[in-house]
Structure 1
Amino acid sequence: MTDDKRHTGMPDRDRINLEEDYEVRYWTQALGVTAEQLREAVQAVGPSAEAVRRRLGS
């Protein structure tokens, strides 16, 4: 997702941006994990949502 809210368009739903609180809230709820678990998974495998899902076993 873009950081500049004026630039709308197709959001990048394949990447997890830990710098945006609303994305952290979304992904923790969607994956059923804590923010710390999400951060550890992203640090281990990168921001790819698919890689994070595999890492977390979701």
Structure 2
Amino acid sequence: MADDRSKRDFRDRDRVSADEDYEVEYFASKAGITPQQVRELIAKHGNNRDKLEREAQALRGRA
């Protein structure tokens, strides 16, 4: 089920949903990595935004 963007409830702001393309694409552009890399990070480390930001930064550092 898609998120209803008209209901602004910020309970899940600390998560990135791999099922929502717009969330993956936004995180990818913000982090400077590809959407596929975002999905791989979510699969490996979970969907906690803070953890994903650290892992994306480390991934950029290795490239």
- TM class by shorter chain equals 0.7 to 0.9
Structure 2: give runs of 5+ residues left out of the alignment.
none
Runs of 4+ with >3 A deviation: none
Deviations 1:8-45 (A, max 9, x none): 22252210011112111110101000011111111111
Higher relative helix content: 2
For structure 1, the 5+ residue unaligned runs are none
| TM-score, normalised via structure 2 length | 0.72
Root mean square deviation, CA, Å: 2.1
Q: Which protein shows a greater Rg?
A: 2
Number of equivalenced pairs: 57
Percent sequence identity over aligned pairs: 33
